Amino acid sequence: MRRLKIVFWAALVLLTVLWLATDPNALQPSGFFALRGSMVQLSGLLAMTCMSLAMILALRPRWPERWIGGLDKMYRLHKWLGIGGLVLAIIHWLWSQGPKWAVGLGWLTRPKRGAPPASVNTVEEAFRSWRGTAEAVGEWAFYAAVLLIAVALIHRIPYRLFYKTHRLLAAVYLVLVFHTVVLMKFPYWASPLGPVMAILMAYGTWAAVVVLSRRVGASHKVDGAITRLQYFPSLRVLEGDIETLQGWPGHKPGQFAFVTSNEADEAHPFTIASAWNPSDRRLTFITKELGDYTQSLPDTLQVGQPVKVEGPYGCFTFDDGYERQIWIGGGIGITPFIARMKQLAMDRKAYPSRPHPQTIDLFHTTADWSEDAIAKLTADAEAAGIRLHVLHDPRDGLLTGNRIRAAVSDWKEASIWFCGPAGFGAALRSDFARHGLPVDERFHQEMFVMR
């Protein structure tokens, strides 16, 4: 989370510094309308910075994933940038429209406009001729962006409607690029600010085209087919195997992939619940009915159905170097731990004389119960040499930091890996921080959400 905040605020601060270096008198205006012009420019540039970075992250690029901490963190940053862009766009719109309303109400008097300075630059003259068009389409694009981002943020709106409309933001972004290119002060283009904005918007434009053409992640996709499906009605969980064809590079336990079962649908992320074995090229996925999309899977998926698998992504891979680890899986958050246990079991079987590299306690807390699922989990833990603690919430109560520390006496030497509800993870992180655990280095949390 700390790195996300650094990236978010560093981008805004850097742009502001470049703007001030380019236009050092912008905050020393001769009057209100001069200040308004400066604020319109600054707020617009900052909004486009957020939107451009959000559009770039929509491509799921590999190059920043390791530093940011995984694609799940990148999607969180994407969401923050979208919200930040929306807030800044509203500020930009208010600075643009508010004074006009005040003039109409007689609260302000617009200064007389002189003739625009003469220009011998044909590009600048062309930009001036497009100003009216850029202002008009930019305003309508702003209204569309507000509506589409609201659809993304309001969780009561069904997921299927969200993913069908969210792609339209790429088209809105392209309109806003035209708006920005035309209306940004022309002298800015010759300053260091100009190339930075040009690179951001060029990369963002390319990203928008890729999104609109539905080519995101195309180079990381392989074909596969569903070979097994098992439904656990008491858990509302579907487990399935996918056999991948050539091209899958393998994955680490804890990583996830995007799966597309219907060309009309968007790819959806699922944590991989199996270790990678090149000899059978099989991936196991476990999904819980948490929304309209996942609720439909037991009725729409069939054995033999072709699918596309994109990945692998994620840095929730357990490789932090600590010999003592504590794993916490809340509900369906148990999935990455199943994959890691299967990997450890494979390693123990392949190298029986090799000492176990880590001591691990796994806590699984669940509100639902299935004897078959718990039996499989217990078998996986025994095969991997891991001490398992299963808590059924209605029977055993909620899992707390105190209960974990009571069960694991050497918890101060451990790293903690958590996957489950975000609020539960935040509470545990705060609890362990209060007890002296350096959570920034040792508390790892998978936080993938699509919206």
Beta bridge pairs of residue 225: 243, 306
What CA–CA distance (Å, rounded) separates 69 from 49?
22
Q: What is the DSSP string of 25-78?
A: TTTS-SSHHHHHHHHHHHHHHHHHHHHHHHHHHTT--STTHHHHT-HHHHHHHH
The pLDDT score that the predictor gives to residue 118 is 64
What's the rounded mean pLDDT across residues 260-273? 83
Spell out the CATH class of 2-212: mainly alpha
What's the rounded mean pLDDT across residues 99-113? 84
What CA–CA distance (Å, rounded) separates 145 from 158?
18
Architecture of domain 218-313: Beta Barrel (2.40)
Q: Which of the two residues, 150 and 205, has the higher pLDDT score?
A: 205
Please write the tens of the pLDDT for every residue from 337-387.
Answer: 999 999 999 999 888 877 777 899 999 999 999 999 999 999 999 999 999
Percent of the chain with pLDDT over 90: 71
User: 3-state DSSP call for residue 270?
Assistant: strand
The pLDDT score that the predictor gives to residue 157 is 83
* Res. 262 pLDDT band, cuts 50 70 90: confident
Domain extent listing, the chain: 2-212, 218-313, 324-446
Question: Beta 282-288 vs 306-313: how paired, if at all?
Answer: unpaired
- Between 2.60.120.260, 3.30.70.270, 3.40.50.80, 3.30.750.24, what CATH number should domain 324-446 receive? 3.40.50.80
158: which residues sit within 8 A by CB, 6+ positions away?
291, 292
What CA–CA distance (Å, rounded) separates 366 from 397?
10
What CA–CA distance (Å, rounded) separates 23 from 84?
23
Model-level pTM? 0.89
Residue at token pair 């040009």 = 198
The pLDDT score that the predictor gives to residue 106 is 85
Length of the chain counted residue by residue: 451
Listed residue (350, 353, 371, 437) closest to 401, CA to CA? 437
Are 259 and 285 a contacting pair, CB within 8 Å? Answer: yes
Residue 284's φ and ψ, nearest 5 degrees, are -110, 135
What's the rounded mean pLDDT across residues 296-300? 88
